[in-house]
Chain A
Amino acid sequence: MRKLLLPVAALVASVSLHAADDLRSNVGIGVGTMIFEGQSGLLSQICAATTNGCFGNQTFAITTGTLGAKPWTGIVSNGEVQSFVRDNMDQLAREMAAGQGESIETLAELIAVPAAERATFAQNLQAHFGQIYASPTVTSTEVVENLAKVVEKA
Chain B
Amino acid sequence: MRRLLPLLLATALAAADQYTVGEVQAFATARGLAEDREWLTLLHVERAWYGFRRSLVDDPAFFLAAEGRRDPQAELDASIAGLLAAPIADAKHMVERFPARAEFLIRRLGLDRTRLPVPRSQEFEDAYAGLGPRSAALCFPTAYMNTPASMFGHTLLLIRSRVKTGMASQAINYAALTGDDGGVAFALKGVLGGYPGHFSLMPYWQKLNEYSDLDQRDVWEYELALSPEDLRRLLLHVWEMRGIRSDYWFFDENCAYYLLYLLDAARPELALHEQAPPWVIPLDTVRIMREAGLVTGVSWRPSLATKVKARAARLPPARAERARRIALGELPPSAAVDGDVAASADELDLAADYLQALRNRSKVDQAAFQPRFVPLLQERARLGVPAQEAISAPVDVPPDQGHGSLRLGFGGGYHGGLRYVEAAIRPAYHDLLDPAAGYTAGAQIDFCSLVGRWYEDGQTPVLERFDAIGLRSFAARDGFFHQPSWKVDTGLVRELVGNERNDEYHAFVDFGVGASWALGGAGLVYALIDADLRVIDADPSLAIGLGPEVGAILRWDRLAIQPGARWGSYVGGLHEDNWRLGLRGSFTVHRDLAVGFEAARWRSWDVLGDSLGIRINAYF
Contacts and interface: CB of A to CB of B under 8 A. Distances in A.
Contacts of B349: 98
Interface stretch (B148-156, B287-295, B593-601): B148-156
Given A66-B170, A68-B126, A53 B374 contact: no
Contacts of B469: 49-50
B123 A13 contact: yes
Interface stretch (B72-80, B200-208, B402-410, B454-462): B200-208
Contact of B200 (A13, A28, A59, A68): A59
B178 interface: yes
Contacts of A88: 205, 209
Contacts of A56: 175, 178, 210
B360 A33 contact: yes
B502 interface: no
A29 interface: yes
B64 to A, nearest CB: 19
Interface residues of B, number: 90
Interface string B417-461: 000000000000000000000000000010000000000000000
Interface string A10-28: 0001101000000000001
Interface in B370-391: 370-371, 373-375, 377-378, 380-381, 384-385
Interface residues of A, number: 72
B371 A136 contact: yes
B99 to A, nearest CB: 12
Contact of A55 (B163, B190, B282, B360): B190
Contact of A62 (B182, B242, B359, B375): B242
A55 B175 contact: yes
Contact of B202 (A65, A90, A91): A65
B199 interface: yes
A36 B167 contact: no
Given A42-B486, A45-B147, A65-B170, A53 B153 contact: yes
A91 B210 CA distance: 13
Nearest to A54: B255
Contacts of A127: 381
Contacts of A138: 374
Interface string B158-174: 00010111111010011
A42 B484 contact: yes
A28 B370 CA distance: 9
B286 interface: no
A73 interface: no
Contact of A47 (B151, B174, B182): B182
B522 interface: no
Contacts of B243: 13-14, 61-62
Interface stretch (B13-21, B361-369, B560-568, B569-577): B361-369
Interface in B451-487: 469, 471, 473, 484, 486
Closest 4 CB pairs of A and B: A51-B190, A49-B149, A97-B377, A129-B381
Given A62-B238, A123-B385, 17 more contacts: A47-B184, A48-B147, A48-B149, A51-B250, A52-B149, A54-B255, A57-B178, A58-B173, A60-B176, A62-B198, A62-B199, A62-B241, A68-B131, A106-B163, A109-B165, A136-B374, A138-B374
7 contacts: A45-B147, A53-B282, A68-B131, A84-B203, A93-B374, A94-B356, A98-B385
Interface of B: 123, 126-128, 130-131, 141, 146-154, 161, 163-168, 170, 173-178, 182-184, 186-187, 190-191, 195, 198-203, 205-207, 209-210, 213-214, 238, 241-243, 248, 250, 254-256, 282, 345, 349, 352, 356, 359-362, 366, 369-371, 373-375, 377-378, 380-381, 384-385, 445, 469, 471, 473, 484, 486, 488, 513
